[in-house]
Amino acid sequence: MKFVVLTLFKEMFDAFVSTSIIKRAIDKDIVSIDVLDIRDFTKDKHKRVDFPPYGGGSGMIMSAQPLGDAIDYAVLSLEKYKKEIKIIYMSPRGKVLNYNISKNISKSNYNYIIICGHYEGIDERIIEEYNVEEISIGDYVLTGGELACQVLMDSVIRLIPGVISQESLSEESHTNGLLEYPQYTKPYEFKGRKVPDILLSGHHKMIADYRKKESIRITQKHRPDLINNKIIPKKEGK
Ligand code: ADE
């Protein structure tokens, strides 16, 4: 899967692409992440990429010209791979990211262009012209889309087969609509607190039952909405 990121702050992606699991996925050629500077595409003689909004109001709007040219360039660079291309804009106005959205993207046969906005947003005509999908990472406003873009790519890439073991994915929070049970490792005793005996029993069925109960307890405590609204992820192939 190929991602082309359009941003005004390329340097914010340096650590993301060169660390840990994302770096491994890139090194294994499972994904590629190209980061383009939108400013390189401006035709403005002062290299400006943003202007005040028509109709008045506070802040600046990212102009359609550099962004449109950056998208056209990214589309051209991806066309040779003969896969459909989807364009996403990270925006507090978008639909809110969850496990199902990340899973669907990870299973999709598309390549992705992701726009990171800044200032008060982007010219609406970009969204209309390029059939852009808007995704938010939560009901709050960030100073720019870069962190949101990394959250989206991270949550997607780790679900692509071959990136991390299926076993690690199968028990983690949200995969089965519940939050993950508590985990323990060495030492056996920490500040007088011991690991629950059942986990040392070697009895797999009892451990599985205990963990299921703990999952439900933690979900009721932290996210009762998941149980009440039954936000259960779709099963594979459905
Ligand atoms: N850009 C600014 N705020 C955002 C949010 N909540 N989600 C995605 N992109 C954003």
The Å distance, Cα 26 to ligand 1 centre, comes to: 25
Q: What is the pLDDT of residue 238?
A: 44
Q: State both tokens at 20.
A: 């840990």
Under 8 Å between Cβ of 103 and 159 = yes
Tell me the CA distances in angstroms from 142 to 13, 139, 185, one per residue in order.
16, 10, 36
Domain 2-157 identical in fold to domain 171-226: no
Compute the mean pLDDT over every residue in the chain, rounded to the nearest whole number: 94
Q: What is the pLDDT of residue 225?
A: 93
Under 8 Å between Cβ of 65 and 43 = yes
Verify whether ligand 1 is closer than 6 Å to residue 66 (CB atom): no
For ligand 1, mutation pick of 133, 137, 143, 149 (most atoms within 8 Å of CB): 137
Closest C-alpha among 228, 232, 10 to residue 99: 232
For domain 171-226, the CATH superfamily is: tRNA(m1g37)methyltransferase, domain 2 (1.10.1270.20)
The Å distance, Cα 223 to ligand 1 centre, comes to: 22
Verify whether ligand 1 is closer than 6 Å to residue 140 (CB atom): yes
The Å distance, Cα 135 to ligand 1 centre, comes to: 8
The Å distance, Cα 33 to ligand 1 centre, comes to: 20
**pLDDT single digits (tens) 72-110:** 999 999 999 999 999 999 999 999 999 999 999 999 999
**pLDDT single digits (tens) 198-220:** 999 999 999 999 999 999 999 99
Q: State both tokens at 124.
A: 């609406």
- Residue 196, CB half-sphere, CA atoms under 13 Å: how many? 11
Contacts of 95 (CB under 8 A, 6+ apart): 101, 134, 135, 136
Q: State both tokens at 138.
A: 């939560």
The Å distance, Cα 153 to ligand 1 centre, comes to: 14
The Å distance, Cα 95 to ligand 1 centre, comes to: 10
CATH of domain 2-157: 3.40.1280.10
Q: What is the pTM of this model?
A: 0.92
CA distance linking residue 231 with residue 223, whole number of Å: 11
For ligand 1, what atom is nearest to the CA of residue 137? 7
Domain borders along the chain are 2-157, 171-226
Cα–Cα–Cα angle for 206, 209, 214, rounded to 5 degrees: 125
Residue with CA at minimum distance from ligand 1 atom 6: 92
The Å distance, Cα 121 to ligand 1 centre, comes to: 10
Residue with CA at minimum distance from ligand 1 atom 10: 91
Closest C-alpha among 148, 154, 151 to residue 92: 148
Verify whether ligand 1 is closer than 6 Å to residue 76 (CB atom): no
CA distance linking residue 36 with residue 206, whole number of Å: 52
Digitized pLDDT (tens) for each residue of the chain, 238 residues in all: 999 999 999 999 999 999 999 999 999 999 999 999 999 999 999 999 999 999 999 999 999 999 999 999 999 999 999 999 999 999 999 999 999 999 999 999 999 999 999 878 999 999 999 999 999 999 999 999 999 999 999 999 999 999 998 887 877 888 888 999 999 999 999 999 999 999 999 999 999 999 999 999 999 999 999 988 765 555 554 4
